[in-house]
Amino acid sequence: MQRRYNPGNVVTAMVTPFDKEGDIDFNQVEKLANHLANNGSDAILVAGTTGESPTLTHDEELELLSAVKSAVGSKAQIIMGAGSNCTRTAVKMSKKVEKAGADAILSVVPYYNKPSQEGMVAHFSAIAESTNLPIMLYNIPGRTGVNMEPETIAKIASKYENIFAVKQSNANLDLVTEIIQEAPEGFVLYSGDDSLTLPMMSLGAVGVVSVASHIIGNEIQAMIKAFNSGNVKEAIALQHKYYPVFKKIFMAPNPVPVKAALAKIGIINEDVRLPLIQLSEAQKKEFFATVDYVLQGVTL
């Protein structure tokens, strides 16, 4: 199968580092982006949900894009979160992101206004017609309040060649099968949940848009490569080994736990913007009791 666009197997949804005053810390942005590019990330997703995009201004998002591009150069593809629940805003941002030099964009199903399936088709059609960039759809009903159905995904992907993938953050594995069966040749699916990477790949997914890859990017790459090379037992063993990390990293609202992990190994501060708050001391004790064995092996 010839993929329409290939950002690799591991796309890390990068957190946005802040300083104590809540401003973006661009020195930490550069440090983190290089850490990701050097430790298993084929591509970096900037200003996604994990990047606390609901609290970022569009100007801040474009500054982040510029900083990450400058930091990693050609070491990793850069995908930019450019979605909105306002179609006009998503179109406008997609044009700006293309001009700013992103390699691709991630565009989420409109949240809060809960459009119909035909409304989704119209929304993503407007975006696809506004840019030449490859577009990854983002289906996350837990946040948007509505699921984009497999036939809707297939309809959009069949209509526009630049819509190359879907990030599927829906735990219903039957939907993975249906999307892959119905989508056109070259369109691919990424798991939107670390713990479901291997299960979804067993049904035809090509990789993951990951949070855990901030700290175990090389290990997730090893799991995917083992599976793709036919060493399924090794892949399953790695899935079981890192499953506690996959789950515990979401013990509090994302990206609070992963920022705490990154702070512990000295890459960024753990600061988040309200309405998110940092882990309590009791939560940190519980969290690090699970993930410390992983953090001891992280190289800076």
- State the number of CA atoms in the 13 A half-sphere of 83 facing the CB: 27
**Catalytic choice (138, 190, 248, 259):** 138
Residue 300 pLDDT class (50, 70, 90 cuts): low
Percent of the chain with pLDDT over 90: 96
Rounded CA separation 62/198 (Å): 33
Q: What is the DSSP string of 132-159?
A: -S-EEEEE-HHHHSS---HHHHHHHHHH
CB 164 within 8 A of CB 187: yes
Model pLDDT for residues 87-126, shown as the tens digit of each residue: 999 999 999 999 999 999 999 999 999 999 999 999 999 9
Q: What single string gives the DSSP state of each residue in 208-268?
A: EEESTHHHHHHHHHHHHHHHHTT-HHHHHHHHHHHHHHHHHTTSSSTTHHHHHHHHHTTSS
Residues for the chain: how many in total? Answer: 300
Q: Say how far apart CA 113 and CA 128 lie, in whole Å.
A: 20
Residue 104 makes CB contacts below 8 A (sequence gap 6+) with 5, 7, 43, 77, 78, 79, 80, 133, 134, 135, 136, 164
Residue tagged active-site, from 31, 96, 167, 248: 167
Mean confidence (pLDDT) of the chain:
96
State mean pLDDT over 178-199: 98
Judged against a pLDDT cut of 90, whether residue 296 lies above it is answered with no
Domains of the chain: residue spans and CATH = 10-241 (3.20.20.70)
| Tens digits of residue pLDDT in 29-51 | 999 999 999 999 999 999 999 99
Taking 80 as the threshold, does the pLDDT of residue 297 lie above it? no
Residue 167 among the catalytic residues = yes
Residue 282 carries which DSSP code? H
Question: Could you tell me the pTM of the whole model?
Answer: 0.96
Query: Where does the pLDDT of residue 227 fall: very low under 50, low under 70, confident under 90, or very high at 90 and above?
Result: very high
Average pLDDT over residues 75-80: 97
Max distance between CA atoms of the chain, in angstroms, equals 51
The one-character DSSP state at 279 is P
Cα 63-67-72 angle, rounded to 5 deg: 150
pLDDT bracket for residue 5 (50, 70, 90): very high
Q: What is the mean pLDDT of residues 17-21?
A: 96
